[in-house]
Amino acid sequence: MSHTWVIDSNCFIHLGSMAPDGFLKDFTALKNSGRHEFLVTPGVHNEVRTVRFQRCKNKPVLLTSLEAVLTTVSVDEAQIRGLANLIGERASPQDVDLSLMVLASQLTREGREVVLVTDDFKMTTTGEKANLGYTTCPPSTFMQRLAELGPSKTRSTFNSLSRRIRAAEMRYAISRVNEYDIQAKLTWMVDSLISGPKAKASTPRQDAPDTADDVDVILSSALRRCLNGEQIKAKHRKQLGNLPEICAPMVALDAHLSSLSTKSYSNDVEGAYRMTLLALSEGLEAVGLGLAPLGEHSAELANTAIAGFIQRTETALGLMAKMSGQRESARLHLSRALQAATLIDDKFAEMHGMHQLGLLATGSDDWERAARLFETADRQAQSIDSNRLPYLVLSGINRHLNHDFELAKNHIQAAQSLVMADKAAACDALTDIGTSLLSIDQPGLALEILDEAMECALETEQLEQLDALAERLLMANAAMTQIDTLHHDGLRDLLDGLNTIAEASHEAFQAKIDSIEQRADLHMKPLEDTWSDWQPADRLVPEGEALTVVRSEVDEHEHTLIVVHHGILGALGLWLPEGRLPVSPGHLLSLGSSRVKVAKPPVALQEQHRIRGIVAIEDASALDFIVPTDAMTGQD
C-alpha cells in the first residue's frame, strides 16, 4: 500500500530543531522503498528556506538535504482563491496552508489515500467543512506512523522523535488555553493517535547506547526514577543538574491523590476536585518557573519525566468531573491524561485513558467515536497482555449501535472465546462493564451485560456474586425511563453470543431471572403504605445503610429529582428545591438525621421515571452524597 503525505511548514520546523543525526538516512530509505510519497508546495520552501537540522553534523539546510525526498507541486492561484471564496475569506488560513489543502484535495480526487500533516487545527476543521476529502494528523502522529510503517531498525528513532514533537505540541496548545477553547484540538490530537497504526513493542537493544537519543532515553528514565525516590548513578545525577529539584513539586501530586484515598468514601467530590486542580496548577507553575531559564533539551527531559504525575492527576480530575456531571470537563481532563501517557509510552495508562474516554462517548451516544476508542484500547491490551474482554464487549456494543453489524459480530465472537475460557473471570469483567454502563446513565445497555454476567455466575456457582448481580439488575430496572425501555434492535441477539450456557444450568438461570423480574414488576407499582407525617429517616433507611443514586434530573424550575434505589422498596424519588446538584449515578445517599415523608407519585411522574414513591426531606442539609474514593482517583 502506498502512503501519500502532504506536509506543512510547521512539521519541518519541528524536524529542524529535533531530528537527530541519522534521521535523513532513515527518512530517505522510506522514500526509496516506493511505499511513501512526501509532497509540499512552493510556499513551504519560502517559509522554511533558512531552517537547518540543528542536531545533525554541520547543521545542514533542511530543504537542501531533503531535496531528493520531497516532491514539490505547484498549485494554481485561481484554485487557492476559489477555495478561499468557498470557505469564506475571513475564515481562511494563510495562502500557503490553502495551497496545501488544494493539493491534498486534488490528490484525494485522484483516488489516493492522502494525509495532510499539520499542527494547524484550522486546516482540519476547514477541510471537513469544505468536504475536501483528505485526513489530517499532527507532526507527532506522522512520526509515530512512520515508525510503524518503516523497518524495525528505524522504529526507535521515529518513536523518540514523535514523543519530542508531541511534547512541543502539547506545550503550545496548553499555552493558548486562555486564548481559545483547546478541547476540540486535543480531541483531534487524540483521534489521530487512535485512527492510525500503533507502534509495536520493540526488542530492547543489547549494545551500549551511543546516540543522543539513547542518552536522552536513559537520562529521562533516570530522572523519573530519581523523582520516585530511587538511587541513580552519580554520572546521571551530574548530567541532570538541578532538574530533580525543579521537578520535585510534581511528586506532591501523587501524595495528594493518596491522601484522597485514605478513606474508603468521600462526601465532597467538588471540594476534592478543586483541591486537586489547585495542586496541579501549583505544581506546573513551580516547574515552569524552574525550567524557564533552561534550554529546550532540559525542558524536554523534564516534561517527559513529569508526564506520569500529570497523567495520574488529570485522570483523577476527569473521573471527579464525570461524577459531578461535568462531562465536557471530564473529557478535556481525560484527553490530557491520554496525551501525557503517550509521552512516556505507558501503554497501560493509554489503555485506561481510552477506556474512560470511550465510556464518556458511549454516555453521549457517540457510538462511532466510542467504538474507535475501545478498539484502540483493545490493541493496547494485546500488546501488554492485559484482559481484552471489556474492550471487545464495549467495541461490539458500540459498533452495533452505529450499525456496523459485521464488525460488532466479530468483536463479540472474539469476546466469546475469552468468556468460555474462564467464566469466573468473565463474570467479574462483565459485572464491571455493567456497573460502568450504569454510571454513565445507560441502564438499557447495562441490563443486557449484567444478564450475561448472571449466567456466568450461576455456572461457576458464585452465590454472593449472584445476589450482588440481582441487586444491580434491579438498579438497572429502576434507572430505566420510558425511552430506555425501547430496546436497541438486535442487541439482545448479539450479546447472547457472549456465553453459551449449559443445558443443565439453563433452568436454574431462568428461575433466577423470573424471580428478579417479579421483584422488578413489584417495584414498578406505587407504594401502598405512605407517611403523611414526618418520620425518622431510619424508618425508611436503617442506620448505617444508604440509598444508591441511579439518575438525577433537573426540571424547568431548577428543582432536582434524585432517583434512588432502595433494596426493598425499589425506585424512589427525592425532590430537592435547592437547585442543580453535582450528583451522578453511583453516588450513595445518606439521609442523616433528617425526618422524611413518603407519598405516592403523580401518575405522569410514576410512568416517566418508574418510581414507586416521592420522599420529602425535612432538612435537606442533612443529606450526604458519598462515593468510593477509588472510583474518584482511579487508584485501587
Q: According to the model, what pLDDT value does residue 482 have?
A: 60
Q: According to the model, what pLDDT value does residue 208 have?
A: 47
Q: What percent of the chain has pLDDT over 90?
A: 25
The pLDDT of 150-166, averaged and rounded, is 87
The pLDDT of 143-151, averaged and rounded, is 89
Cell of 246: 525543579
Residue 538 and residue 541: Cα distance in Å, rounded? 5
Domains, the chain, with CATH or none: 3-161 (3.40.50.1010), 531-633 (2.40.50)
Q: pLDDT (tens digit, 9 = 90+) per residue, 285-319?
A: 999 999 998 888 888 889 989 999 999 999 999 99
Kindly tell me if the per-residue pLDDT of 203 is higher than 70. Answer: no
Kindly tell me if the per-residue pLDDT of 487 is higher than 60. Answer: no
Residue 148 and residue 36: Cα distance in Å, rounded? 13
Q: pLDDT (tens digit, 9 = 90+) per residue, 381-430?
A: 877 778 999 999 999 999 999 988 888 888 898 899 899 989 999 999 99
Average model confidence (pLDDT) for the chain? 84
Closest CA to 252 of 298, 310, 303, 302: 310
Distances (CA, A) of 474 to 438, 488, 571: 11, 19, 9
Cβ atoms of 413 and 497 within 8 Å: the answer is: yes
Kindly tell me if the per-residue pLDDT of 12 is higher than 90. Answer: yes
AA letter at 302: A
The pLDDT of 21-29, averaged and rounded, is 88
Q: According to the model, what pLDDT value does residue 204 have?
A: 43
Q: Rounded to 5 degrees, what angle do the CA atoms 356, 362, 363 make? A: 90
Q: pLDDT (tens digit, 9 = 90+) per residue, 426-462?
A: 999 999 999 899 888 888 899 889 989 988 888 888 8
The pLDDT of 173-202, averaged and rounded, is 70
